[in-house]
Amino acid sequence: MTYSDVLLQQVINGVSLGAMYSLLALGFTMVYGIIELINFAHFNVFMVGAFFSMWILKLTGLAGEKVILTGLPLAGVLLLALVCVMLFCGVLGVVIERTVLRPLRNVPGTAAMITTIGVSYILFNVILLSQGAAAVNFPNPMPKVQWNVTVGTVLKLREVLLWTIALLLMLGLHFFVRRTRMGKAMQATAQDQEAARMMGIEVDSVVMTTFFLGSALAGAAGLVFGLYYNFASYVIGYTAGLRAFTAAVLGGIGSIPGAMLGGVIIGLIESLGGQLIATRWTDVIIFSILVIVLVFRPTGLFGRMMIRKS
Amino acid sequence: MTESAGAKAQAGGGIASQWRRLTAVQRRRAILTVVSLLLLAFPLIDRNGGDIDAAANACAFATLALGLNIVVGYAGLLDLGYAAFFAIGAYTYGALASWQVQPLWSDFWTPLQWLGLVDRFHADGVPDVVHFTFSFWIGMPVAAVVAAFFGVLFGAPTLRLRGDYLAIVTLGFGEIVPIVARNWPTVTNGAIGLNGVAPPKLFGYSFGVDSEPFYYLGLLMIAAMILISLRLQNSRIGRAWMAIREDEIAASAMGINLVSLKLLAFGIGAAFGGMTGAFYVSKLQTATPDMFMFPVSVMILVMIVLGGMGSVYGVVLAAIILQLLQSWFLQDLTGWIHALGKWVDSAWLQRVDLVQSIELIFGIILVTMMLFRRQGLIPATRATPALTLDQQTAHASRGGFATPIRGIQPTPAEPKQAMIEVRNLTRRYGGIVAVKDLNIVVESNSIVALIGPNGSGKSTTFNLITGMDEPSSGQVFLLGQDITGLKAHAITERGIARTFQNLRLFSNMTVLENVLVAMHSRTTTGPLAATLSLPRSRAEEREAQEHAFEIIGAFGNRLLPRANQLVKELSYANRRRVEIARALASRPKVLLLDEPTAGMNPVETLELSDQMRSLRQMGLTIFLIEHKLNVVNDIADKIIVLDHGEKIAEGTAEQVHSNPLVLEAYLGRKASHA
Amino acid sequence: MMIRINRRQLMMTTVGALALSTLAISTGFAPVQADEKLVTIGIELPLTGADADSATRIKNGAIMAIEEANSKGGVGGYKLAVTVLDSGTSTAGQYDPAQAATNAKKFVADPSVVAIVGPEMSGEGKAMTPILSAANLATVTPSSTNPDITDPKFAGQYKPNGKAIYFRTVTTDAFQGPNMANYMRDTLKVKSVYILDDSGAYGVGISNAFEGQAKKIGMTVMGHDQLDPKEADYTTVITKIKGLNPDAVYYGGVAQAGVKVAKQLHEIFPSVIKAGGDGMVDGGLLSAVGFPAIEGWYCTQASPHVMDDASMTDWVARYTKEFKMTPSDYAITAYDAVQVIADSIKRVSAGGQPVNRDTVRDAIQSANINTLQGPVSFDENGDIVSKVISVFEITHDPKSADDDVQHQYKYIGVAPESPTS
């Protein structure tokens, strides 16, 4: 492998990482755009999604790398898992919103955010106490296909799958927000809740839909994570969460294209930073970016344009 | 039988009735005394070294909670990375009191050696090195100062961020500090952890590994911090912090320098954290980066949420409860569940370990407290007794303020010197021009009214004058001095005070406290003076309270009986009066009133008009936004009319009323002109 | 006569009840009057958090030894009681040095405790030893391998009263890391290596020791990176390693990061020789990584490998039957630790002396007995005299369960203490 091969491979790695962060940042930034709430629980919904999708896949008979599927059965199984986990996590998000967050919606200050920290802790510890601290093997039904981009650089099937799913979900969200009635209601509520209410928009159900969608995306990200890394553990929400949060802030919190771009940028920083500097400093670099963005340009790259067209 | 039972009831009733006769303050003192005695006697009652050790650790976490209480509870700054300061203090002391850091010996170190702070270490074959031997009693304050320094360093760029963003940034710092500690082995020995940090020595006796001296030192630290917290809470600084917590914008309008006070809170909180870090590491004699991670910050936050943000005793109680939970109750409960499991022969029950679920319990505490009891176990605010019927009755009085109000006096000024002058003032928001090329003169000792239809830029003008907003171009002068672009608190200091259209009171503070806050720029007691309760600051506090009561009393029965009531419990009209009282407390030269009579009935409106007139008589200048034209006609010396951000008329009431532009602006054009 | 309770009385009663019950519970911790013929052995392990699995296996090994001793009528006429204390807290997610220190003090406060088995982790040991030394209470650790604690250089910190109280039935990373370097160069013919660690106290220690020796014997160390165990993605650093193309990768650390290292190395750079320390010997790791990804890893243990010996079959069967899990190698060293303590108690009692901490400590210092792992004796620092590092290679045994530690790690041999050249 030549050095340029290494760099190219790192770029591929970075974009894959970035796609993961984007997916996670999307749901998070949507919720913030609507109700200006930093939802800490989002990242542990993602973690729960990874475990849930693992169980779904195991139910269909998959285990470790022992069963490999291709073509239609593969697509079918993945689709089934995707739909199930998105439904489950979406409902989980709605339950959280209704029981814990709605009563606090009009309380000023950081009360709601503190509550999401509490919910996050609860999810984290329920999984920890019930599943244990050790990582668990995630079924990997995909065949080991890869292509050589250059002599030394490879692009794996699972990376292509990750990018495809992430892109499809992002496009789907984009379409939903721009074209459907509910999407427009979401845009309106994001800009001015009072005015939206006065226009006859039922803000409560808009918020609920937002949480459903955002959490469903988190669940999808959990499935994608499991397929990509082939393991699940109770801590995965933590680091991925902070990186995805930085991605959302960098891109402009409340902006969908911002989350996508921010995710890729953070992923590239992680991989190229690890290559050129050292992985032990990645966290410091990313947090410094977070602080710098918040202090000097809090609107991020795309500004707080809420869920608007790019 | 009945007789002795009756006698017992008498005796029991005796204690109960004695208790009832004590005042709230005496009761609190009694409880505190009993609790303190129990705490002091604890190691003598329970001689188990392990328990005393756990109790000493609990003291450390209680002091951490008290430190965070100042940041979160008093100043309202949510800090999710408080463990960073704990770590900084610990490693600072660790570097100063262990063999970890060993620079080469040079003459620079000789004076320090003479002071006993360092030692020269000689090993054969290698150059001499420095061995840091700082005494704990010097090292701990140094650790506190270093932590405070980092608090200011982290806070300076970030404290102006909004609450939730600030929380995230502090979370980031809380993550970065352990990472740096892990990656800087020369100072911290990285992940392996410090070796051999020296324990404190008192009169030659080293604390060693005994837990008792640490426990008592911990109790002392808690007591000291409670004292400092309470002294700060009831001082000018504490009130300023609480004002910031309640409403930042209003606070800065009251003359509070937001940046320096937030930094002060952050720095003091950091210092407490650093001090505790030194204590903790000197006890454990080692430190690893893993000891200072996010879960520690959350645990301290849980203590504050459980105890009550801003409530000193609540926070300590919560720290004790959580520690007891972890060390004793959960273990015992687990034991009982295991016994139950054996009894019903359930293997699952026998394997349950509640001690492991303490983090889950933290999450549940956070959620339930926020949902159901946001004020915590021991709320920071106290309930007020109900008012008597007499106190509730208030009659509108005419004639304005009967007695002169301290601080309101004529301003010596040059003749023809305007109090406020606005020149070519413009404010653009993107494509919208809110205020355009405004030229206004407010003469000294006059009442000038600013009127105009909704959206004409009146409140914007006020904001521009008082520093809440920055003009796009133009200038503002106060008594000839250019005050354009100054921050709000600086402008208040120079003598402009204001009220707000939509009321910006400090809802969770009392009427008295609201008025006292406004005196911030006229008083000087700093945190040190307040903590030490110097005679100078006590005198200043007394004087301020007298002044405040004077002002409140000027409003008669409306505010005086309610002086110790929370402002959010007052009627709308009374809250307007509190706003005015608050504005008067800062001894202004000119008062900007934004719709002061909104929500008042005609009689109350007349009362307030009279009061404004008497203020003018006392020497005050008043600049007034009003919609009630009868008030304007009644008391204004000059009326200025705005429409769409521009001045369209100026003059006396008659002049303005007959001005066709004014009529058009208010009433619209005639249909034939459409 | 009606009893009217008002709120104040209720509050006072509650406070009083709480205070009383607190006192009651605390006196419950007061030392139990020891039966003349009963002594207590303490067990101190991180039974909560990331290391719970390995800690439990160790605990069971010790408990099995204690139960067997009691069933034979005790030692030297004394029955053995057990007190187990957990140094793990869920706040730390693993062992907490402060909790370990508190546990040490609890043991010290209990006069019936004459010796301790534990701790598992060296981080606990650092916090505990000053306290144990002050009380002259000996502990025998079955798995703590950081050499600092018994290093005479740090004697002032870890045994301030001068006498060794930290005994090991396992050898240290001063040998585990370097001996593996020797083995890799001599047997595996590795010329260049890239080192990773998991930023933990154990991982950094062992990988530094490995690195020192590797450089000394002429291996090219191409780099040494630290990983964040909570991070999921190591593809960046592994891609970097692949670009440099070393012969081998050495990972010092425990399973939390080890799982991801193994999986991702297999994905990206499967041809490289992979080696690690005893942190990679873990059933959970085997099942989380799965075969074929984990196949081929070389791991070390800081004790001789005896589990496959015919003489051990019976022991393993008894362990598995009683605790419903297979033993780890450190379960054996824990069993050995108890045997050392039991033997010491017997000798003290036979010598007519009272059985207390001081006498037991002295007896442990002079111990020389045959245990499951072979002959065990200690040098003046408390380290075990025989320094055997066993090397294993993970080889899939389809007949056994994936997470069966005993059968999936194939014993290769002993890592040489010194290189052949």
- For chain A, give every domain's residue range: 19-236
Backbone φ, ψ for residue C382 (5° rounding): 105, -5
Query: Which subunits count as partners of chain B given 3+ CB pairs below 8 Å?
Result: A, C
- Non-local CB neighbours of B126 within 8 Å, separated by 6+ positions: none
Nearest-Cα distance to chain B for C350, in Å, is 31
For residue B26, being part of any structural domain is answered with no
Query: Which subunits count as partners of chain A given 3+ CB pairs below 8 Å?
Result: B, C
CB C382 within 8 A of CB C165: yes
> Is A283 in CB contact (< 8 Å) with chain C?
yes
A262-301: b or e for each residue (b if 16 or more CB lie within 10 Å)? bbbbbbbbbbbbbbeebbbbbbbbbbebbbebbeeeeebb
As given in the structure block, the two tokens for residue B175 are 């993550």
State how beta strands C298-301 and C389-394 pair: antiparallel
Across chain B, mean pLDDT equals: 87
Chain C residues touching residue B20 (CB < 8 angstroms) = 8
| Tokens 């239609």, located at residue | A72
CB B318 within 8 A of CB B304: yes
Q: Which residues pair with C375 in a beta bridge?
A: C370
Q: What DSSP designation does B404 have?
A: P
CB B476 within 8 A of CB B490: no
User: How far apart are alpha carbons B167 and B158 in whole angstroms?
Assistant: 10
User: How far apart are alpha carbons B107 and B98 in whole angstroms?
Assistant: 21
CATH number reported for the structural domain that contains residue C79 in this entry: 3.40.50.2300
Percent of chain C with pLDDT over 90: 46
In B469-526, alpha helices (H): 488-494, 511-517
Q: What is the ipTM for the molecules in this complex?
A: 0.89
In terms of domains, do B441 and B347 share one? no
pLDDT per position as a tens digit, B605-651: 998 999 999 999 888 999 999 988 889 988 999 999 998 888 988 99
Give one DSSP letter per residue of C210-250, joined into a string: HHHHHHHTT-EEEEEEE--TT----HHHHHHHHHH--SEEE
Chain B residues touching residue C109 (CB < 8 angstroms) = 47-50
Count how many pairs of residues, chain B against chain C, have C-beta atoms within 8 Å. 132
In terms of domains, do B217 and B107 share one? no
In terms of domains, do C369 and C404 share one? no
Q: Is it the case that residue B5 has pLDDT exceeding 60?
A: no
The reply to whether omega before C119 is within 30° of 0 (cis) is yes
User: How far apart are alpha carbons C214 and C194 in whole angstroms?
Assistant: 11
CB B626 within 8 A of CB B596: yes
User: How far apart are alpha carbons B486 and B491 in whole angstroms?
Assistant: 6
Contact assignment for B360 to A118 by CB distance below 8 Å: no
Higher pLDDT, B127 or B510: B510
As given in the structure block, the two tokens for residue B293 are 């991670």
In terms of domains, do C42 and C149 share one? yes
User: How far apart are alpha carbons A92 and A53 in whole angstroms?
Assistant: 14
Contact assignment for A274 to C49 by CB distance below 8 Å: no
Contact assignment for C234 to A230 by CB distance below 8 Å: no
Q: Which residue of B has its CA nearest to A102?
A: B371
As given in the structure block, the two tokens for residue B356 are 């492991």
Q: Is it the case that residue A208 has pLDDT exceeding 80?
A: yes
Q: Which residue of C has its CA nearest to B293?
A: C92
- Non-local CB neighbours of B339 within 8 Å, separated by 6+ positions: none
> Is A255 in CB contact (< 8 Å) with chain C?
no
In terms of domains, do B531 and B604 share one? yes
- pLDDT at position C33 is 42
Across chain C, mean pLDDT equals: 86
Q: Which residues pair with B441 in a beta bridge?
A: B421
Percent of chain A with pLDDT over 90: 29
As given in the structure block, the two tokens for residue B199 are 């324990």
Option in C105, C203, C205 nearest B53 (CB)? C105
User: How far apart are alpha carbons B103 and B518 in whole angstroms?
Assistant: 52
For residue B62, being part of any structural domain is answered with yes
Rounded mean pLDDT, A182-200: 84
- Non-local CB neighbours of B584 within 8 Å, separated by 6+ positions: B405, B407, B408, B497, B518, B551, B591, B615
Contact assignment for B192 to C108 by CB distance below 8 Å: no
Number of domains into which chain B is organized:
3
pLDDT-derived band at A307, boundaries 50, 70, 90: very low
Contact assignment for A291 to B169 by CB distance below 8 Å: yes
Contact assignment for C29 to B48 by CB distance below 8 Å: yes
Residue that terminates a domain, selected from B372, B407, B429: B372
> Is B163 in CB contact (< 8 Å) with chain A?
yes
- pLDDT at position A309 is 28
Least confident segment among A111-120, A299-308, B279-288: A299-308
For the full predicted model, state whether its pTM sits above 0.95. no
- pLDDT at position C25 is 47
Higher pLDDT, C137 or C8: C137
> Is B480 in CB contact (< 8 Å) with chain A?
no
- Range of the structural domain that residue B662 is part of: 418-673
Residue that terminates a domain, selected from B111, B133, B155: B133
Option in A229, A236, A239 nearest C228 (CB)? A239
Contact assignment for B5 to C1 by CB distance below 8 Å: yes
Q: Which residues pair with B418 in a beta bridge?
A: B443
Q: Considering only residues 159 to 218 of chain C, which have any Cβ-Cβ distance to chain B shorter than 8 Å?
A: 199-201, 203-205
CB C342 within 8 A of CB C69: yes
> Is A95 in CB contact (< 8 Å) with chain B?
no
Q: What DSSP designation does B190 have?
A: G
- Non-local CB neighbours of A9 within 8 Å, separated by 6+ positions: A1, A152, A153, A154, C239, C242, C243
The reply to whether omega before C292 is within 30° of 0 (cis) is yes
Option in C93, C231, C290 nearest A64 (CB)? C290
Mutate to test the interface with C, among A231, A238, A284 (most CBs of C within 10 A): A231
State how beta strands A154-156 and A146-148 pair: antiparallel
Option in B176, B298, B360 nearest A117 (CB)? B298
For residue B13, being part of any structural domain is answered with no
* Angle (CA) A77 A83 A89, round 5°: 130
- pLDDT at position A308 is 30
Mutate to test the interface with A, among B371, B373, B375 (most CBs of A within 10 A): B371
As given in the structure block, the two tokens for residue C250 are 């050495």
Option in B169, B172, B371 nearest A115 (CB)? B371
Q: Which residue of B has its CA nearest to C32?
A: B48
Contact assignment for C232 to A239 by CB distance below 8 Å: yes
Sign of torsion over alpha carbons A151, A153, A158, A160: negative
Give the DSSP H/E element, type plus range, for residue B295: helix B294-307
Contact assignment for C48 to B356 by CB distance below 8 Å: yes
- Non-local CB neighbours of A144 within 8 Å, separated by 6+ positions: A156, A157
CB B446 within 8 A of CB B470: no
Contact assignment for C8 to B16 by CB distance below 8 Å: yes
As given in the structure block, the two tokens for residue B358 are 């303490």
pLDDT per position as a tens digit, C50-81: 788 889 999 999 999 999 999 998 888 899 99
pLDDT per position as a tens digit, C266-303: 988 999 999 999 888 887 888 888 888 899 999 998 88
B127-140: b or e for each residue (b if 16 or more CB lie within 10 Å)? eebbbbbbbbeebb
- Tell me the Ramachandran region of residue B588: left when phi exceeds 0, alpha when psi lies from -120 to 50, beta otherwise: beta
Chain B residues touching residue C91 (CB < 8 angstroms) = 295-296, 299, 358-359
In terms of domains, do C49 and C99 share one? yes
- pLDDT at position C34 is 45
pLDDT-derived band at C16, boundaries 50, 70, 90: low
Chain A residues touching residue B363 (CB < 8 angstroms) = 117-122, 124-125
- pLDDT at position B192 is 81
Contact assignment for A121 to B374 by CB distance below 8 Å: no
Option in B53, B191, B326 nearest C200 (CB)? B191
In terms of domains, do C167 and C178 share one? no
Higher pLDDT, A236 or B430: A236
Nearest-Cα distance to chain A for B585, in Å, is 28
Chain A residues touching residue B158 (CB < 8 angstroms) = 291, 294-295
In terms of domains, do C162 and C292 share one? no
Higher pLDDT, B2 or B135: B135
> Is A229 in CB contact (< 8 Å) with chain C?
yes
User: How far apart are alpha carbons B622 and B605 in whole angstroms?
Assistant: 16
AA identity, residue B351: R
pLDDT-derived band at C28, boundaries 50, 70, 90: very low
Q: Rg for chain C (alpha carbons), in Å?
A: 23
State how beta strands B590-594 and B621-625 pair: parallel
Higher pLDDT, C153 or B317: B317
> Is C106 in CB contact (< 8 Å) with chain B?
yes
CB A140 within 8 A of CB C291: no
For residue B406, being part of any structural domain is answered with no
> Is A169 in CB contact (< 8 Å) with chain B?
no
Provide the CB-side half-sphere exposure for B429 (13 A, CA): 7
- Non-local CB neighbours of C86 within 8 Å, separated by 6+ positions: B355, C45, C46, C47, C48, C99, C103
Contact assignment for A281 to B364 by CB distance below 8 Å: no
As given in the structure block, the two tokens for residue C72 are 């034979």
pLDDT-derived band at C19, boundaries 50, 70, 90: low
Nearest to A29 by CA among A296, A307, A287: A307
Contact assignment for C235 to A271 by CB distance below 8 Å: yes
In terms of domains, do B115 and B220 share one? no
> Is C9 in CB contact (< 8 Å) with chain B?
yes
Rounded mean pLDDT, C309-324: 88
CATH number reported for the structural domain that contains residue B543 in this entry: 3.40.50.300
Torsion of CA B226, B229, B231, B234, to 10 degrees: -130
pLDDT per position as a tens digit, B192-212: 888 888 889 888 888 888 888
Contact assignment for A280 to C226 by CB distance below 8 Å: yes
Torsion of CA A251, A252, A255, A259, to 10 degrees: 30
CB A195 within 8 A of CB A21: no
Number of domains into which chain C is organized:
2
Q: Is it the case that residue B42 has pLDDT exceeding 90?
A: no
Least confident segment among B331-345, B572-586, C336-350: B331-345
Query: Which subunits count as partners of chain C given 3+ CB pairs below 8 Å?
Result: A, B
Give one DSSP letter per residue of A33-84, joined into a string: HHH----TTHHHHHHHHHHHHHHHHHHTT--TTT----HHHHHHHHHHHHHH
pLDDT-derived band at B554, boundaries 50, 70, 90: confident
For residue B611, being part of any structural domain is answered with yes
Higher pLDDT, B418 or B414: B418
Q: Which residue of C has its CA nearest to B181?
A: C199
- Range of the structural domain that residue C152 is part of: 38-171+312-377
Give the DSSP H/E element, type plus range, for residue A175: helix A157-179
| Tokens 């998991």, located at residue | C198
User: How far apart are alpha carbons B15 and B656 in whole angstroms?
Assistant: 74
- Tell me the Ramachandran region of residue B201: left when phi exceeds 0, alpha when psi lies from -120 to 50, beta otherwise: beta
- Non-local CB neighbours of B253 within 8 Å, separated by 6+ positions: B466, B468, B488, B489, B492, B497, B498, B500, B504
Helix (H) and strand (E) counts in chain A? 11, 4
Chain B residues touching residue C103 (CB < 8 angstroms) = 50
CB A20 within 8 A of CB A162: yes
- pLDDT at position C29 is 40
- pLDDT at position B78 is 93
Mutate to test the interface with C, among A12, A228, A229 (most CBs of C within 10 A): A229
Option in A17, A64, A230 nearest C233 (CB)? A17
As given in the structure block, the two tokens for residue B571 are 């009627």
Option in A1, A3, A134 nearest C284 (CB)? A134
Option in B6, B57, B299 nearest C98 (CB)? B57
DSSP, collapsed to helix, strand or coil, labels residue B535 as: helix
